[in-house]
Structure 1
Amino acid sequence: MPDSPYTDLERPPLSQAALTRALVHEGGLWTRLSVVDRAGSTNADLAGQAREGAPEGAVLIAEHQVAGRGRLDRTWTSPARSGLTFSVLLRPRVPPARQGWLTLMFALAAATAVRRLAEVDVRLKWPNDLMIGERKLAGILAERVDGGVVIGMGLNVSLRAEELPVPTATSLVIEKAACTDRDPLIRAILREVESHYRDWAAAEGDADASGLRTAYAAASATIGKEVRVELPGDQVLRGVATGVDAAGFLIVHAGGTDHALSVGDIVHLRPAEG
């Protein structure tokens, strides 16, 4: 996709210095923050930094990402400065069996921040999408690397209808959100992630003790829905999503059995759909 034709006044650049002053401080989670004009994939670039010893709390933001990746190795691009494209490095000291909640925690924190600031009804589609209705506002991708986890997010902010990557996507501008300024949005998201992450880590990753599972269920667009799950190996499961278990797996009741799913593409079905 070509660079954005919009001016700096229409789509202003982010200030690394201002964001660093606001978010990086002694004793805080965020330890360093970089804003680059262009990146292939912020996840790939930050993963490389992690292998070179980058500390927990490193943040990498790209004004234009040209080779972003989504789940199942799908490509993802957007015009320059039209959204928030960033990755963070976390090194959670919680039992591995509970780390499946990390992506869900990040999604919940981001949705909470956007809902509060932009005044739009953002819901969570398991495992990693932020939705407004049935349209995708943001996606999240996590990757393990050298004892840590890199979590990347792409949030559509000022994309117009003709710029959307797929017809089922949306943006804050399209939804007439109260805030479409990327600077306060990234500040709010990272502060909310820090708050949720500290609570979850203090509870040693226990999603119930930290209140994470209850909060996630309340924000979920998937729980309670009839769904079709496209699984690896061209398998398909259809049933009702009834909840998320202690490991962060989606529970789908199908054929009289509860299935705990760690992966899968979820399609929300209307009652008449097959």
Structure 2
Amino acid sequence: MTEPNTPGSRWSDLDRPPLGAAGLRRTLIRPGSLWTALDVVDTTGSTNSDLAARAGGTGGGPAEGAVLVAEEQTAGRGRLDRSWTAPARSGLFFSVLLRPGDDVPVERWGWLPLLTGVAVATGLARAAGVDTSLKWPNDLLVVVDGEERKAGGILAERVGEHAVVIGIGLNVTLRADELPVPMAGSLALAHAVSVDRETLLRAVLRSIEQWYGDWRAAGGDPVASRLQEAYTAGCATLGRTVRAELPGDRELIGEAVAIDGDGRLVLATGTGVREPVAAGDIVHLRSAETD
């Protein structure tokens, strides 16, 4: 028998109760819903890797709308192969399987991580009462002690020709002494009105369902679905002077002035040239007002 205070026990941290998979399924999986399956595992390396393996398996894999949640990830991944680790049950670590199919041209699938960011931010605004902003392309920011901190991230990965797995990692109850780096944050440190993970997960998944449904119904058009407008409104990168660290060890510094129709970040450089950035690491340097 596992003793209550041992690390492997579900009672080892009573402020962090386990998720109830059955209750989540009852409220999320229903006729006409995007969500078709939801599994919660105690621990895994990466929910993205696990769900991608299922989707790429024989027999076509799971249907669109499969959700895999882990109480703990031991090899969680962010962009550029960065690791994402946190104590068990201290956050939400999950992946969803989407199959945009013939409704959305492949060239518009690049909007999916940005769509997920908008959906997570709007879901958290309702359920947690926290103003979450977006750092292009995939970081979720909250304010802790007057400073922007990264509380979460998004990783989208193509699986074969017809599927995309999107992983979301979100720090919920992470305490100051548990932060992996000084500039990390959590909903609790941002004074969220609720840190109940089931409430937050339901809100985020329902928000993804709404935004994805509208985007898909519009054929992936970011204007008609109002996705481009919403992302622009919530993007903390716009109006900032930033450094873009690009593939091939290239670097570009400029003011982030727009999100274009392909979801790219447009930088106005010192020479007056506007350059779209499709991929890269963005470092916020300062606000445009202080230049």
Calculate the TM-score normalised by the size of structure 1: 0.96
Contact 1:3 1:79 in 2 (8 A): no
2:159 is aligned with 1:145: yes
Alignment of 1:66-85 (within 5 A): 66-85=74-93
**1:9 Cα offset (Å):** 2.7
Q: Give the match's secondary structure for 2:220.
A: coil
Cα distance in 2, alignment partners of residues 63 and 234 from structure 1: 36
2:176 is aligned with 1:161: yes
C-alpha offsets along residues 235-270 of structure 1, whole Å, 9 cap, x if unaligned?
111001111111111111112111111111111112
Match of 1:253 in 2: 268
Contact 2:240 2:287 in 1 (8 A): no
Alignment of 1:47-86 (within 5 A): 47-52=52-57, 53-86=61-94
Contact 1:30 1:58 in 2 (8 A): yes
Task: Choose 1 or 2 for highest CA Rg.
Answer: 2
Match of 1:220 in 2: 235
Cα distance in 1, alignment partners of residues 250 and 43 from structure 2: 38
**1:118 Cα offset (Å):** 1.3
- Which of 23, 27, 30 is the equivalent residue of 2:28? 23
Match of 1:105 in 2: 115
Cα distance in 2, alignment partners of residues 85 and 28 from structure 1: 21
**1:232 Cα offset (Å):** 1.4
Q: Give the match's secondary structure for 1:270.
A: strand
C-alpha offsets along residues 195-250 of structure 1, whole Å, 9 cap, x if unaligned?
00000000000000111111111111011111111111221110011111111111
Match of 2:221 in 1: 206
Structure 2 segments unaligned to the other structure (5+ residues): 1-5
**1:164 Cα offset (Å):** 1.0
Contact 1:4 1:80 in 2 (8 A): no
Cα distance in 2, alignment partners of residues 127 and 117 from structure 1: 23
Match of 1:241 in 2: 256
**1:28 Cα offset (Å):** 0.8
* Letter in structure 2 aligned against 1:138: G
**1:7 Cα offset (Å):** 3.2
Match of 1:13 in 2: 18
* Letter in structure 1 aligned against 2:283: V
**RMSD of aligned alpha carbons:** 1.8
C-alpha offsets along residues 109-147 of structure 1, whole Å, 9 cap, x if unaligned?
001111222112110000001101421011000000022
Cα distance in 1, alignment partners of residues 181 and 79 from structure 2: 15
Return closer, same or farther for 1:209/1:22 CA change in 2, 3 Å cut-off: same
**What number of residue pairs does the alignment pair up?**
273
Structure 1 segments unaligned to the other structure (5+ residues): none
Match of 2:126 in 1: 116
**1:16 Cα offset (Å):** 0.8
Cα distance in 2, alignment partners of residues 92 and 259 from structure 1: 29
- Which of 96, 112, 116 is the equivalent residue of 2:106? 96
* Letter in structure 2 aligned against 1:82: S
Cα distance in 2, alignment partners of residues 4 and 240 from structure 1: 48
Cα distance in 1, alignment partners of residues 287 and 71 from structure 2: 41
**1:271 Cα offset (Å):** 5.7
User: After alignment, is 46-55 or 195-204 more displaced?
Assistant: 46-55
Q: Give the match's secondary structure for 1:175.
A: coil
Calculate the TM-score normalised by the size of structure 2: 0.90
Cα distance in 1, alignment partners of residues 108 and 177 from structure 2: 41
Contact 2:239 2:287 in 1 (8 A): no
The share of aligned pairs that are identical, in percent, is: 57
- Which of 135, 146, 150 is the equivalent residue of 2:149? 135
**1:174 Cα offset (Å):** 1.1
Contact 2:115 2:212 in 1 (8 A): yes
Contact 1:3 1:80 in 2 (8 A): no
